[in-house]
Amino acid sequence: MEATFSHGTGMSIARARQHAIGDLLHRSARRYPDKLAVVAGDLRITYAEFDAAVNRCAHALSARGLEKGDRLALLSHNCWQFAVLAFATAKLGIVLVPVNFMLGPDEIAYVLRHSGARGIVSEDALAPTAEKALAAAGIDDGTRGWIALSGASPAAGWEDVDDWWREGDPSVPDVLVADDDPLRLMYTSGTESRPKGVMLSSRSLITQYVSCIVDGGMSSDDIEVHALPMYHCAQLDCFFSVDVYLGATSVILPGPDPATLLATIAREGVTKLFCPPTVWISLLRHPDFDTTDLSSLRKGYYGASPMPVEVLRELQRRLPDVQLWNFYGQTEMAPLATILRPHEQVQRAGSAGRAALDVETQLVDDEGRPVAPGEIGEIVHRSPHAALGYYADEEKTAEAFRGGWFHSGDLGVMTADGYLSVVDRKKDMIKTGGENVASREVEEAIYELDGVAEVAVFGITHPYWVEAVTAVVVPKPGATLTSDDVQTHARERLAPYKRPKYVVLAGGLPKNPSGKILKRQLRDEHAALAQEDARAGEG
């Protein structure tokens, strides 16, 4: 049966049925107007105040010529203004482009060019980097918003973002945003030398929020601290935006400093915390851990990389009242795909769990055929969580979604009852400190150094970073190349987290008969490098 209504009636129905990201905040504000929504430094904002601030900011963006479908880049550490912009853009249907603040000007310039951003908002300390990126991208116009985190006045050509949310019209913008209108463009290095722009819609994100809520045990009573970068969809969309959807309380920190995290948990009565294993380890090792009142904490989440079993046991011993969840996924899944639940942590230690509520997961061979339980295959998913595709890249989108499944590029093994273990990365992606590093991108940067004949970049197990970027470099005959030369070169071309923590000079690289470099053999040969570190976190 097909509904046939006039255009006007159809638009009215669409508006009445709208359920987009911007609507989530408005509805929470209607349910809990006086409830504490966000704590950020000295700022304490109720849901009604949060919604009004977002509406004012949305009207300010509209007044500057930004409209539905335009892209706005955001370069900042976690802050209140980040939260406002995430929802203000969503209310207008503007596509937010969060940018990794660890990238250099050339890397940011690529994102600006590729996304076609019509403006950028930057925190004050990063504005010089943003200006270099704009210049490198050939962008000399568009909106430029200034977030005065350190109190510095806006530079010439920049506007204070605080004026956007403090002043103006607090009414809800009248913009129709459909379920599958893109609202986020998340750039992920993945396994390519250049990052891909992952397009996420309200449908992708909200169905993912529901999976997080149901399988992650989340509720409106949660008080959560957000310390990991919100430019990353894990903190932004598995946790912060879910809290807004539920009407929970969010405490925003600029970063995961262990002392500040511990003190914040005690001061605010935090009940819920997400950290990658590296940050959980830093908390356990901090001298304040055992003297801080952490009795309010009830829910702990980890992801981005597997939790070492010994660390898991230590967490359960030292925080016996905290339930733990392991979230596994990728940006293209908005990002959740599978969950290991609290009662499964010990019995299934090291597992990524089973498919989340709105996800179907299986393993396939190179021809797309399902593999038997216990056999290695590529991890693929079907879910409304899945992205709309890669922006301006039909070829990579077709490859990733071939056969009607999203192909993750990760390899895994699955039990007969659906428990997944991630065993390798199909294209040698390295996960270090919760960040993705494409080995190919690092290799290409090192190849630019005179005197390099061959290079292989891979990750080795590390006690702090979980994986450490490692490069084995073969010098050209007669070249006087040192490991320090390679490190200096990498510092000039790569963001800090992408730079090799170890550089080894070698006479050659192991290869199979077809000439493929055997990175697994290299990982085994150089595994002891990390074990020789006397102090966790250095390398």
Q: What is the pLDDT of residue 513?
A: 47
Instruction: Please report which confidence band the pLDDT of residue 240 belongs to, taking 50, 70 and 90 as the band edges.
Output: very high
Domain ranges of the chain: 47-177, 429-531
Q: Given a cut of 90, is residue 448 above it in pLDDT?
A: no
Least confident of 40-54, 203-217, 410-424: 410-424
Share of the chain above pLDDT 90, in %: 81
The stretch 21-26 carries a mean pLDDT of 98
Average pLDDT over residues 298-318: 87
Ranges assigned E (strand) in 119-195: 119-123, 143-147, 159-160, 182-188
Mean pLDDT of 483-509: 95
Compute the distance between CA of residue 124 and CA of residue 472 in angstroms, rounded to an integer. Answer: 38
Q: What is the pLDDT of residue 512?
A: 56
User: Is residue 328's pLDDT more than 50?
Assistant: yes
- CATH number of this structure's domain 429-531, picked from the four choices 3.90.105.10, 3.30.300.30, 3.90.45.10, 3.20.20.80: 3.30.300.30
Give which of 307, 319, 305, 337 is closest to 216, Cα–Cα. Answer: 337
Query: Residue type for 470, please?
Result: T
Comparing 291 with 423, the larger pLDDT belongs to 291
What pLDDT is recorded for position 281? 86
Strand order through the sheet with 196-201: 159-160, 143-147, 119-123, 71-75, 95-99, 182-188, 196-201, 389-390
Pair of tokens at residue 419: 């428990």
Q: Is the dihedral of CA 278, 258, 189, 504 positive or negative?
A: negative
pLDDT digits (tens, 9 = 90+) for 163-189: 999 999 999 999 999 999 999 999 986
Q: Do residues 407 and 401 make contact, with C-beta atoms less than 8 angstroms apart?
A: yes
Looking at per-residue pLDDT, the higher value among 11 and 511 belongs to: 11
Residue 191 has pLDDT above 90, yes or no: no
Q: Residue 2: pLDDT band by 50, 70, 90 thresholds?
A: confident
Which secondary-structure segment (H or E) carries 215? helix 202-215
Q: Using omega within 30 degrees of 0 as the cis cutoff, is the peptide bond preceding 335 cis?
A: yes
110 has pLDDT over 60:
yes
Note the pLDDT tens digit of each residue in 424-439.
666 667 888 888 787 8
State residue 189's pLDDT score.
66
Answer whether residue 193 shows pLDDT above 70: no
Architecture of domain 47-177: 3-Layer(aba) Sandwich (3.40)
SS3 164: helix
pLDDT at position 436 is: 76
Give pLDDT, residue 444: 79
Mean pLDDT of the chain: 93
Q: Most confidently modeled of 169-183, 278-292, 519-533?
A: 169-183
Tell me: the pLDDT tens digits for 205-237? 999 999 999 999 999 999 999 999 999 999 999
Tell me the three state secondary structure of residue 313. helix
Residue-wise pLDDT for 369-384, tens only, equals 999 999 989 999 999 9
Reported as a single tens digit per residue, the pLDDT across 113-169 is 999 999 999 999 999 999 999 999 999 999 999 999 999 999 999 999 999 999 999
Q: Tell me, what's the pLDDT at 535?
A: 46
